[in-house]
Every structure is written in C-alpha cells, then in structure tokens.
Structure 1
Amino acid sequence: MGDLITGDTPGLLAVAFLIGIVVGLTGMGGGALMTPALIFLGIPPTAAVSNDLMAAAINKTVGAAVHYKHGSPNLKLAKWLIIGSVPMAFAGAFIIDLIGSDADQQSFLKRAIGVALLLTASTFTLRIYLEMRRHLPDDPDRPDPRIRALPTLLVGAFGGLLVGMTSVGSGSLIMISLLLLYPALSARKLVGTDLVQAIPLVLSAAISHMMVTGIDWAVLIPLIIGGSPGTWVGARLANYVSQSILRRGIAIVLTLTGLGLLKVPPVWVGIIGSAMVILGPALWGVIKHLHGRPAFLHIPIGIREEPAAEHPRADASPPEPRH
C-alpha cells in the first residue's frame, strides 16, 4: 500500500474528481482535460498518456454499455470507425518509442498534446455551432443514413492515431466528424455510436502504451477512484448548470492549455485568453442572431427564486407563465 499511496495521491484524486464533474455535466470526454492536468501535476507526459488511456478504457466501457442496452448506437457506422482507428491507435505508442531518448519523447509529446488540445478546442467550438444550427428533432427512430465507408474509415484512422499518441480526441474530433458526415443522425445515436467505437479504440491505445511504457498504479487507481464519483455528481448537477457557459469555458481552457504546452509566451496567452473571455460572448451572440436565435438569452444557473411582492394578497391569483 505504501507504493500506491504517495504524496501525489490527494492531488490526483482531486483532479480526477473535478474533471469527472465536468465530464458528467457536459458529456465531454475527459482525455483533453485529464492528460494536460496530469502533466501540470508533474507526471511525465508518457506516463500521463498511458494511465489516462487505461482509466478512460474502464470508464467508457460503462457508458457504452448503457447506450448499447437502449439500442442507440449505429453498429454499422461504429464498425467502419473501429476498422480505421484500432490499428492506428495501437501504433501510437510505438511511434513515440521510435523518436529517441526519453527527453526527446517527453518534449515531443508536450508539443503533440498542445496541438491536439488546440485542434480539440476548435472542433469542440465547431460542434457547438453545428448543434445550434440543427433543427431536426432528436428522433431515435429516424432511418439511419447511408454509411460512407471510406470517409468514415479515414476519420477513424486519424482519430485513432491522435488518441494513440496523445490520448486526446477520441470524443471531440470523431464526434464532430460524425456530425459533418451524417447530419441527419439523431443526437442520441451519435453519442451512442461514439461511445461504442471508443471502447476498442481506447483499449488498443492503452494496451500498446502498457506494453511500451507500463502502468503506474499509484496514478491509475486515484484516477478511477476520483473520476467515477465526480462523473456521478456532474450528471446530477447537469440540469442546474448552464451548458452554454460551461462549453465556452471548456473551449477557452483547452485553448490556453494547448498554448501553454506549446510554450507560447505567457503574455500572449493572457492576451488571447482575455480576448476570448471578453469578445467571445459578443461574437457568439452575433452568430446566434444571424441564425435567428436570441442573441443573449439569459440561462440561469440553478433554480432562481422570483422576488416576492412587498404586500401579497391572500386571494392573489398565480402569475401568468412567461414565454
């Protein structure tokens, strides 16, 4: 037990719990958040990737089992994604191992994860935009679209390579690609298909990293113990927290983290972050207005109580509902 509980254990538990809350709130995969968080805690990039992949393989299996039970995934679509992603994901750890010395590998991984985070932030933002534009009702009984085998296989291959090398992108990149390739697929089937194809993808990447790098149980166990209750808490809070604000915040965090790993000067990181915080909501409001949506609709966080009248009458009728 002394080898499993170290000075890093409390920090790992806290980070896993907090990121689990974000995953439960938004449904976003935790790799884009967990891997850089482990690096900033002092875990070497190679160990951060391998342990995050192993924890993700366990967590995604549970989520996919729930979606499979309800019949939501498109198994034909998942099959072509898996054919493309599994061999590329397995190759990721061996490609990193060919780079050279351990120092070169750690340096390369930091840059690769930085690029992957910026790509994830971009695709995550595009996903929010596409979901805002979608006007199709979420009907799980809608006929499935025709499978486009070659583009789907290429999406799986690129996503698998990215995940196999960085552990980032299994959810965000493949999900946005499915939205672009199959816009008529219901949201429920999109999520279910992504979760089902992610199991062999992440398992393949985790096995190859375990063969090349190994598993640090002192890191992996806190990730699993802290992440599971965090995800449960996040799912319980999802109805009380503005998804719009959370998603914009995640996009900003991913962007700034990616820039930090790419060693962009802190001054520029601060300038870019300030611009995103200040100008981002205004720009998003303009985009929504151009698509006929309310530009700055107020979405409350939690349950807001209406102010009571100063002298309520006993026989007063209830207020008319607001639309």
Structure 2
Amino acid sequence: MLTTLFVALAISAVFAGVPSPEESKRLMDHFSDAEHFKNEHHNKQFDHDAFLGEDQAKTFDQLPPEESKRRLGIIVDKIDSDKDGFVSLVELKDWIRYTQRRYIDEDVERHWRQHNPNNDGEIPWETYRKNVYGFMDDMDQSDMNEPNSEGYTYANLLKRDRRRWTQADGDHNDALNRTEFAGFLHPEDHSHMRDIVVLETLEDIDKDKDGKVSMEEYIGDMYKPEDGEDGDEPDWVKQEREQFTGYRDTDKDGFMDEHEVKDWIAPPEFDHAEAEARHLVFEADSDADEKLTKAEILDKYDLFVGSQATDFGEALARHDEF
C-alpha cells in the first residue's frame, strides 16, 4: 500500500518562496503528491503523475479525451525506443524514470533562478533565509513560541530547512552550489540525504512527539474517517494494522522507531519505477503477453493520462512536443 508519507502543513504562503503545502511533501522516489490508493480505491491521478510527470499531468487534465489520446499516441511512439511496435516493461520503466528526472531538473532550475538571479556559483544560507523567511524578522517572537500559531508553524519550517541545508552542504561553507541545492530541494533523490527524509517523515507522523510511531499514528497518516462516518473500518485499514504488527514493527515493541520507519519508506532493493511500470502493464495488457501495443495503451488512456475537462482550458502544453 503506497501512502502519503508527509502531512501537508495547513498554512498560507504569504511570502514568495515560502514552502507551500505541496512543496513540503517529500517521498522516496517521489512520483506524485497523490496517494496511489485512497480509502481502498485505486487513484489514477498517481499513475498520471508517474507516467507524465506532475507538471505534464496537470496539462493533460485540461484536455478533452480525443486530444489526450492524440498526445498519448505521440508519447507512446517516443517510449517505443526500438520501434518494434510494442512498449516493453523496460521501455516503460525507463520512461517513468525519465519523466521523474525531468520534473526534478526543471524544479531545481526554477528555484535556482528564483533564489540566485545572477547565477552565482553558490547560494549562501542567509540569502535563502531572507528570500524565504525574511518576513519573520517582523513577527512577534511570542507568536512563534505559541503552539498551533502561524508563527510557530513558520518557525518549525525554518528549523527544518536549516537542518536540511546543513546536511546538503557538502563542503561546510554554509552556501550551496547547484548540486548541493538539488539535494536540499529533493533529498529523496540523493542517497546522502535520505536519513533527513526519514527523520522528517518520523517527525510529521509522530503526533505526540515521543520519537516513535504508534499504530494509531501510522493508520492516522493514511486513513481519516469522514465526518459522520462510523461502523467498521475498511478491510484495507485492517490489513494495514496487520502489516504494522507483522512487518513494520520488527522488534514487536508496539512502535516504529527511526530504523523501522526507514525500512518502511525506503526498503532496500525496491525499484519504485519498475513497480509502477509493472502496475501499468498489468492494468493495460489485454492479451497478457507482458508488453503493450499502442492500441492497448490508448484503450486505457484514462489510466495513463486521463482527462477531467470538457474543453481545452489554458493551453499549457509544450508545443514542440505535441
């Protein structure tokens, strides 16, 4: 069961550059802010984001079905690298990795330009702090010490960014070059930053701040009954409780510590791109030959790209690609 690992902070970005709720989420091999399964039901938006990249998925969401299919056909021709008329598991896996890499590179470039308009070799911490959190200099200190206040939330975001910055700063000069800055923005994509991702996950899920994750905190991160909902929990929630007891809590003390959280969100030898590719092949492979024709993919276009609009909306697409 793939779940949202980070709870979005319910704050308003009142200053340019302050992390939005979406930007505060971090995942190992992050494909999407959407959950792959939501309250027992498969969420196709996760597949759209994984297959297209999040920015491109938003574009396709504005297109009518026929245009989505036309553009998907062009993408299929690109994925079929050996031009044999089929999309193999390897080709699909390579494409998913490519879209993820493209999304990260473009995100890093956008933020690098924002915080470093002169394209200097490095961004000092104080420059980043002033750009993102400078508005806090005028805030009442007492507000930042008041739990559940907006100031308190921003103060914790600043502390988290400071810790992540220090971890990303390989030469310890309190300034980040572009490679180090990429690790700061996307720690899930850099092996030396993954302990930070684990720590941030633990902190976000650990509501009582005792340094470990109880079963109720684990379940509460992925399942929240809707208002007025009562009765038995869905079967998948019961299965997750069994997963926690049987597999997540390896030392059987009733909690997940930092090491157990790491095994959960970053299992060794697990290839997220391959897992997503296998899922897409399984869903679309109508003749069960373990490879996809263009017709099979177009027949399941809603799985790969979807379409939520009845008209074009804004034309956000990259015209050179389509």
TM over 0.5: no
User: Scaled by the length of structure 1, what TM-score is found?
Assistant: 0.26
Q: Which has the higher helix share?
A: 1
